[in-house]
Structure 1
Amino acid sequence: MNNIILEARHINKYFHDPVTVKVLDDINFIISKEEFVSVVGKSGCGKSTLLYILSTMDTDFEGDVLIDNESLVHKKEIELARIRNEKIGFIFQFHYLINEFTVLKNVMLPGLKLAHFTEKEIEQRAIEKLEMLDIKDLALKMANKLSGGEKQRVAIARALINNPAIIMGDEPTGNLDKKNREIVFDIFKRLANDYQQTLLIVTHDSTLAEISNRSIEMEDGKIIRQ
């Protein structure tokens, strides 16, 4: 049985504005099921650029990315959207919740889009995710009434709704104070240890890197340690 969830093969990326600059240079690594991996490095080293390629949001690159043994190269946008929705849960630095919706509806949205279950079943799954993150009591609160830390926990619940093969995060603690960073650290540890969730988190935060199982360190568009 193949336990590889994500594989990057010889990824190269160029920016062309105004001159051509190579921003990712022959990136190769694998992430296995249940691994909690952090990607670290100084600002501008290419880690967020890499994450956007791995998450199917950027398709202008050389090489190949496989998620759950399925290559992302040469796929049409509709196919990439399906993979994104089914296989990837994404957590941004900013939560991107819809303020006019309740917490429950925000968490349900990716499930409603995927439409593998009835609305009632998706609602039940959303409540389970909120309960898992100890924020079930916020379910009927409007998103614009939440604190920053609460919003990020709701964003994590939303990322989990479709039971993704992998959770990807781009500086998910970068906008939080110390107390809320620690809450999110604890959530990631629980997701990895108790729920066997595979995680790939880009971060500047040394504490987050320390609690991950493995760190991939980047410098000037290259992996220098993994």
Structure 2
Amino acid sequence: MSATILEARHINKYFHDPVTTQVLNDVTFSVKKGEFVSIVGKSGCGKSTLLYILSTMDTDYEGELLIDNEYMTNKKESQLARIRNEKIGFVFQFHYLLNEFTVLKNVMLPGLKLGNRSANEVEHKAMEWLRVLGIEHVAHKMANQVSGGEKQRVAIARSLINDPHIIMGDEPTGNLDKKNSELVFNIFKELAEEYKQTLLIVTHDPAFAEGTQRIIEMEDGKIIKQ
């Protein structure tokens, strides 16, 4: 029996602008260790809003969120920031790499910030992930000197540097061509199967979702299938 890494219980979310609209309605589900899960649904159904709550970046909601069996509610922002850095890896549609740094330094940054390892250990680990992802040859290039597909792989390496309990992705292939989308999907699949990495990915791409172990389907702020 796999451990539960993430659990959402009866999550409701409202926007007040200027009328009150409910954007998430009684969202309840859990993700177990090593699961590769996708969240799908039409634009505006609440997928990204939900991901921001699950990633602890949005704390204005009703209900309960547990990461690694720990309640996220009523925690201070500094506590949440540490949990985010330690337990959650992020991959967004845009890679958000810092152009003034090399690829290697970009991957190292969250590890240096967490401070659990020496700079040498963080660098060694960063190189290992770049090697696994097939881009160790760009390690010493500046971030703006590598291709779009390579940038997204750098972002994936960066998300893995602190051994996160879960990787969350918001349309990680949304900005890539078919070849690079497939490459990124295969990386995620390998992470789940070989490394038992837990993945929760919001996607518009039906082919991507079909390849995941489980699909959570949303409509009008509700989960209609999981």
Query: Equivalent residue for 1:98?
Result: 98
Query: Equivalent residue for 2:58?
Result: 58
Q: CA deviation at 1:198?
A: 0.3
**Cα deviations by residue, 1:41-95 (Å, 9 ceiling, x for unpaired):** 0000000000000001100000011000111100000000010001000001000
Opposite residue 167 of structure 1, the aligned amino acid is: I
Query: Equivalent residue for 1:223?
Result: 223
Q: In 2, Cα distance between the equivalents of 1:78 and 1:124? A: 28
Q: In 1, Cα distance between the equivalents of 2:72 and 2:189? A: 29
Q: CA deviation at 1:148?
A: 0.7
Query: Equivalent residue for 1:204?
Result: 204
Opposite residue 159 of structure 2, the aligned amino acid is: A
Q: CA deviation at 1:207?
A: 1.0
Query: Equivalent residue for 1:33?
Result: 33
Distance 1:188 1:2, change over 3 A: closer
**Cα deviations by residue, 1:136-175 (Å, 9 ceiling, x for unpaired):** 1110010010111110000000000000000000000000
The gaps in structure 1 that reach 5 residues or longer are none
Matched residue SS, 2:42 = coil
What is the identity percentage for the equivalent residue pairs of Structure 1 and Structure 2? 73
Q: CA deviation at 1:2?
A: 6.5
Q: CA deviation at 1:211?
A: 1.0
- Pairwise mapping of residues 18-167 of structure 1 onto structure 2 (< 5 A)? 18-167=18-167
The gaps in structure 2 that reach 5 residues or longer are none
Matched residue SS, 1:80 = helix
Q: In 1, Cα distance between the equivalents of 2:72 and 2:137? A: 39
Is 2:65–2:73's contact at 8 Å kept on the other side of the alignment?
yes
Q: In 1, Cα distance between the equivalents of 2:125 and 2:33? A: 22
**Cα deviations by residue, 1:107-143 (Å, 9 ceiling, x for unpaired):** 0000000000000000001001101101111100100
Instruction: Kindly tell me the number of residue pairs found equivalent between the two proteins.
Output: 226
Matched residue SS, 2:131 = helix
Is 2:64–2:72's contact at 8 Å kept on the other side of the alignment?
yes
Q: In 2, Cα distance between the equivalents of 1:2 and 1:36? A: 13
After TM superposition, the runs of 4+ consecutive aligned structure 1 residues lying more than 2 A away are: none
Opposite residue 123 of structure 1, the aligned amino acid is: E
State the TM-score, normalized to the length of structure 2: 0.99
Query: Equivalent residue for 2:168?
Result: 168
Matched residue SS, 2:27 = strand
Root mean square deviation of aligned Cα: 0.8
Q: CA deviation at 1:18?
A: 1.1
**Cα deviations by residue, 1:161-196 (Å, 9 ceiling, x for unpaired):** 000000000000000011110110110111011111
Q: In 1, Cα distance between the equivalents of 2:178 and 2:212? A: 18
